[in-house]
């Protein structure tokens, strides 16, 4: 590979189902390596919540939709000589494929990073008959790698011949060029004969797609790397608790795999390496397998040579610096010559990671918000986020993961004791988002592991660990304030809130018991050698053991509590906000500590904090970290009301800062809003920043605040009397004890008068929008304010007057409705999953750019 000076990263766009911030987090780590190697990173994306757009030099970031023409223009104008789609979605891959096909990359001498001309067209594309084998499947089959091959059936003779070879069960789908058809599963010839005539009639072409049915097989993921010399290494195995017929995004996942025997694991590793070789993969790759545990029959069902949620989980669970190593491999640096920061052992790069702990990923769904959506789990992904639990045993990791996934601020898990037997069996056979709790209930009622495995196609192992956990729950319930019950609960991942719930006591009592027994929480390093080599990695999980792998970080530290699991609402925005808090606190000279449990989070990027605790965002865990670290500041999100109340009781030795702010501290007089004024309020005064207009995405252009889901700066529907707006804003601010970034809401009455309709803290999403529009990092300003480093004169120079920005910007919220298959849902702020951003010389131009 020739020396590359500039690489264009195609971003992932707005977050959505099965797409949070994991690619953004990986790209952030990769570009730090590339910069050290003298390469300038460029980024194109229209996701306002991308940390890359916040932190990469503004001269190298382009807020645009990723289209073939736009990318080609950027390559020409900036003389970029490298391009990579592996941090983006399928749209990014499609653009690169078109640029290659149109000879643009060859003309401009732009090198592909992460893929090459030999494998580029194998991914993200299908043949014209979409149910035939893809080019990828054909390549794998040609190299004797087992795949679930599709056969085209044109008549009964074809059907009989292929059935004899494939054997039952099989799945069949009528082929149609203008309508999507569902596959139907057949267990025997008799049931197939009953429907075969109808199946042929459903296809205008009289053709069927026939496949071996593997939906009930076990699903296993493998994450591996390969360098330019063909050296390969397995990073982690990932075991889905559910079978193949449940999308991996919606399944509980254990890392490393828990139920594979040595032969199976070695075979999957061998096939993984064969796939990497035959596809010429360079860098990172994630594969999914279907495996029949009884016959050891194995099929490759998915190949992803990109960064995704599975590669993120592999990195979080092992502590292996996957993104940093891959950054070098992508540039043809051999694995043996990759250089890591000194906190890693020199051999870390070339040693396959070993784990002395278990990590469990729990999916998070939004059906409590969108109850009109079908919450049954299947092949189509529906989870909006994830949370992880890390423990010494599978039981502890599962319990911690469960606690991390639940919305209860008091650490209490829901129960389903009132569910009828018929409903229970129905949910076992047809799982929903409540599956894991339903499984616990079935085990509690005495269903055997073998019966449950037969009903659900889940390995018996998981019902054994559920039974173990239920045994300890009952022990804790029946023995209040008893030493053995406390020790057993802690060993199995219980939180202090669970003891408080079962024993009708408070957290102080539980912590006093733990101290009296010298049974306090210890923290173990998440590192890739299982203690075989000395490492100084700054990521930890909680346990109750004799040795502690960490100690107090500094007398000058700040603890930031992350948002945790992603749901609907300002999720990825909140995570970017948290990451920026860490970055800016570090710049102010504080040692930074983050407590969070979202495996796809940018706030858990190791480089942006001095220490990470992968723990549930619960009171007991936070108090344990505070006791160990003794931070000067604790930053807590404003929507954590229970935690705020509890921490305020003990905030004598640290300063508690509620940020992002609590929206409930605002006041809205009427729900109709035309525009707003964003201001910075500090003890030193009031600084007006910009007006913002609102639009609804619904047909009636509803001006109720909750329904206004497009924001534009500045507000330009008419000539504003800025002095009058500012005057009214100052009057309103004096009546409310709010500081920080504040938004004063206005409507215009029928006489053209401005009427104040409310005052609220500026929302997380709009704070990041304001960052993008003004070019000022307002989270940095807030960190300066709340830590005593604020200079109001500096800000006044940056913002000489209201609406001083010379361009128009629009941010439009995106929703998961299409992905979840629901229609006619009002587009409201509470249903947000992501956003798109656009700039233009006029409001119409920025709106047009948004729609490209």
Question: If you write DSSP's letter for every residue of 173-185 in order, what string do you get?
Answer: EE--SSS----EE
Residue for token pair 């000194």: 342
Structure tokens at 113: 């990073």
Range(s) within the chain of domains with CATH label 3.40.50.20: 6-113, 523-663
Range(s) within the chain of domains with CATH label 3.30.1490.20: 149-212
Stated as kind and residue range, the H or E segment containing 849 is helix 843-850
What b/e string do you get for 281-316 counting C-beta neighbours within 10 Å, with b at 16 or more? bbbbbbbbbbbeeeeeebbbbebbbbbbbbbbbbbb
What is the CATH architecture of 523-663? Answer: 3-Layer(aba) Sandwich (3.40)
* Confidence at residue 805, expressed as pLDDT on a 0 to 100 scale: 63
Tell me the CATH number for domain 223-353.
Answer: 3.30.470.20
Residue for token pair 């609804």: 696
Around 777, how many Cα atoms within 13 Å sit in the side-chain half-sphere? 21
Residue for token pair 């029959």: 297
- Rounded to a whole number of angstroms, the CA Rg of the chain reads 28
Stated as kind and residue range, the H or E segment containing 235 is strand 232-243
Are the C-beta atoms of residues 805 and 703 closer than 8 Å to each other? Answer: no
Whole-number Å distance between alpha carbons of 319 and 312: 10
* Confidence at residue 532, expressed as pLDDT on a 0 to 100 scale: 81
User: Closest Cα to residue 381, out of 257, 285, 240, 260?
Assistant: 240
pLDDT per position as a tens digit, 436-451: 999 999 999 999 999 9
Flag whether the pTM goes above 0.75.
Answer: yes
Structure tokens at 606: 């190791």
Residues 6+ apart with CB under 8 A from 352: 233, 234, 235
Measured at the CA of 134, the angle between CA 128 and CA 140, to 5 degrees, comes to 160
Tell me the CATH number for domain 6-113.
Answer: 3.40.50.20
Are the C-beta atoms of residues 676 and 694 closer than 8 Å to each other? Answer: yes
Q: What are phi and psi of 173, to 5 degrees?
A: -135, 130
Beta bridge partners of 75: none
Distance separating the N- and C-terminal Cα atoms of the chain: 34
Around 154, how many Cα atoms within 13 Å sit in the side-chain half-sphere? 2
Residue for token pair 């070019």: 775
Helix axes 778-786, 571-587, angle to 10 degrees: 60
Q: What are phi and psi of 429, to 5 degrees?
A: -80, -35
Fold of 149-212: Dna Ligase; domain 1 (3.30.1490)
Are the C-beta atoms of residues 561 and 643 closer than 8 Å to each other? Answer: yes
Range(s) within the chain of domains with CATH label 3.30.470.20: 223-353, 665-850
Say how far residue 305 (Cα) sits from the centre of its chain.
18
Output the CA–CA distances (angstroms, integers) from residue 356 to 35, 254, 256, 710, in the order listed.
34, 13, 10, 48
Beta bridge partners of 704: 672
Whole-number Å distance between alpha carbons of 234 and 257: 13
Q: What is the dihedral of CA 306, 110, 71, 129, to 10 degrees?
A: -60
Whole-number Å distance between alpha carbons of 289 and 170: 18
User: Closest Cα to residue 433, out of 370, 517, 476, 492?
Assistant: 370
Residue for token pair 């070339």: 350
User: Closest Cα to residue 647, out of 658, 663, 639, 662?
Assistant: 658
Superfamily classification of domain 665-850 = ATP-grasp fold, B domain (3.30.470.20)
Tell me how many helices (H) and strands (E) the chain has: 28, 31
Report helix, strand or coil for 385.
strand
* Confidence at residue 126, expressed as pLDDT on a 0 to 100 scale: 39
* Confidence at residue 206, expressed as pLDDT on a 0 to 100 scale: 87
**Percent of the chain that is helix, strand, coil (3-state, to 5):** 40, 20, 40
Question: If you write DSSP's letter for every residue of 37-71 in order, what string do you get?
Answer: TTPEEEEEE--TT-HHHHHS-GGGEEE----HHHH
* Residue ranges for the chain with pLDDT beneath 50: 126-132
Stated as kind and residue range, the H or E segment containing 290 is strand 283-292
* Confidence at residue 843, expressed as pLDDT on a 0 to 100 scale: 84
* Confidence at residue 130, expressed as pLDDT on a 0 to 100 scale: 41
């Amino acid at each position: 590979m020739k020396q590359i000076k500039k690489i264009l990263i195609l971003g992932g766009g707005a977050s959505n189902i099965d797409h949070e911030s994991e690619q953004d987090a990986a790209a952030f780590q990769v570009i730090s390596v590339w910069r050290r190697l003298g390469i300038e990173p460029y980024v194109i994306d229209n996701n306002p919540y991308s940390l890359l757009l916040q932190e990469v030099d503004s001269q190298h970031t382009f807020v645009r939709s990723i289209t073939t023409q736009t990318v080609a223009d950027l390559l020409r104008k900036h003389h970029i000589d490298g391009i990579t789609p592996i941090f983006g979605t399928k749209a990014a891959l499609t653009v690169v494929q078109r640029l290659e096909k149109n000879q643009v990359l060859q003309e401009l001498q732009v090198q592909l990073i992460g893929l090459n001309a030999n494998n580029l067209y194998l991914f993200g594309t299908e043949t014209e008959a979409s149910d035939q084998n893809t080019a990828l499947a054909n390549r794998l089959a040609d190299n004797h790698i087992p795949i679930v091959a599709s056969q085209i059936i044109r008549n009964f003779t074809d059907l009989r011949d292929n059935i004899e070879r494939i054997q039952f069960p099989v799945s069949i789908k009528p082929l149609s060029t203008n309508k999507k058809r569902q596959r139907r599963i057949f267990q025997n010839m008799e049931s197939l004969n009953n429907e075969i005539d109808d199946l042929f009639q459903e296809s205008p072409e009289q053709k069927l797609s026939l496949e071996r049915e593997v939906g009930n097989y076990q699903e296993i993921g493998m994450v591996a790397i390969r360098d330019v010399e063909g050296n390969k290494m397995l990073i982690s195995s990932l075991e889905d608790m559910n079978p193949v017929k449940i999308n991996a995004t919606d399944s509980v996942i254990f890392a490393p795999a828990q139920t594979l025997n040595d032969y199976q694991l070695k075979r999957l590793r061998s096939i993984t390496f064969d796939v990497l070789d035959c596809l010429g993969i360079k860098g990172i790759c994630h594969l999914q397998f279907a495996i029949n545990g009884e016959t050891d029959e194995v099929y490759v069902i998915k190949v992803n040579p990109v960064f995704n949620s599975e590669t993120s989980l592999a990195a979080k669970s092992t502590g292996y610096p996957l993104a940093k190593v891959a950054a070098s491999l992508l540039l043809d640096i051999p694995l043996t010559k990759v250089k890591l920061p000194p906190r890693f052992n020199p051999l870390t790069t070339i040693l396959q990671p070993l784990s002395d702990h278990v990590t469990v990923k729990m999916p998070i769904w939004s059906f409590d918000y969108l109850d009109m959506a079908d919450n049954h789990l299947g092949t189509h992904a529906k989870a909006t986020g994830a949370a992880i639990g890390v423990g010494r045993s599978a039981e502890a990791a599962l319990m911690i993961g469960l606690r991390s996934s639940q919305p209860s601020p008091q650490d209490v898990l829901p129960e389903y004791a009132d569910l009828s037997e018929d409903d229970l069996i129905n949910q076992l056979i047809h799982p929903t988002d409540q599956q894991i709790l339903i499984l616990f209930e079935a085990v509690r009622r005495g269903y055997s592991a073998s019966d449950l495995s037969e009903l659900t196609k889940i390995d018996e192992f998981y019902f054994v660990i559920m039974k173990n956990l239920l045994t300890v729950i009952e022990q804790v319930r029946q023995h209040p304030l008893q030493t053995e019950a406390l020790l057993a609960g802690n060993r199995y991942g219980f939180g202090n809130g669970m003891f408080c719930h079962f024993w009708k006591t408070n957290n102080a009592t539980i912590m006093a018991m733990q101290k009296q027994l010298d049974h306090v929480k210890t923290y173990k390093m998440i590192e890739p050698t299982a203690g075989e080599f000395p490492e100084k990695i700054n990521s930890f999980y909680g346990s109750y053991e004799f040795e502690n792998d960490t100690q107090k970080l500094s007398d000058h530290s700040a603890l930031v509590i992350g948002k945790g699991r992603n749901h609907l609402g300002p999720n990825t925005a909140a995570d970017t906000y948290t990451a920026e808090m860490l970055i800016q606190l570090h710049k102010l000279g504080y040692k930074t500590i983050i407590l969070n449990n979202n495996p796809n989070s940018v706030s858990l990027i190791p480089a942006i904090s001095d220490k990470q605790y992968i723990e549930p965002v619960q009171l007991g865990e936070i108090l344990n970290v505070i006791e160990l670290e003794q931070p000067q500041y604790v930053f807590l999100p404003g929507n954590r009301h229970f935690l705020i109340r509890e921490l305020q009781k003990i905030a004598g030795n640290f300063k508690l800062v509620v940020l992002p702010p609590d929206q409930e501290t605002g006041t809205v007089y009427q729900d109709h809003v035309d525009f707003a004024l964003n201001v910075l309020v500090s003890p030193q005064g009031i600084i007006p920043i910009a007006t913002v207009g609102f639009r609804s995405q619904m047909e009636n252009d509803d001006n109720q605040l909750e329904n206004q889901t497009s924001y534009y700066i500045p507000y330009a529907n008419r000539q504003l009397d800025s002095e009058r707006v500012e005057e009214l804003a100052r009057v309103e601010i004096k009546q409310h004890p709010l500081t920080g970034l504040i938004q004063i809401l206005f409507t215009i009455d029928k006489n053209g008068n401005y009427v104040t309709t409310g005052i609220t803290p500026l929302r997380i999403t709009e704070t990041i929008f304001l960052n993008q529009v003004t070019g000022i990092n307002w989270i940095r300003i807030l960190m300066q304010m709340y830590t005593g480093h604020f200079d109001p004169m500096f800000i006044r120079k940056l913002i000489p007057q209201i609406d001083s920005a010379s361009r128009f910007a629009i941010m439009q919220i995106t929703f998961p409705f299409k992905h979840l298959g629901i229609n006619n849902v009002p587009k409201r702020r509470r249903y947000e999953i992501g956003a798109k951003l656009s700039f233009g010389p006029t409001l119409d131009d920025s709106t047009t750019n948004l729609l490209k």
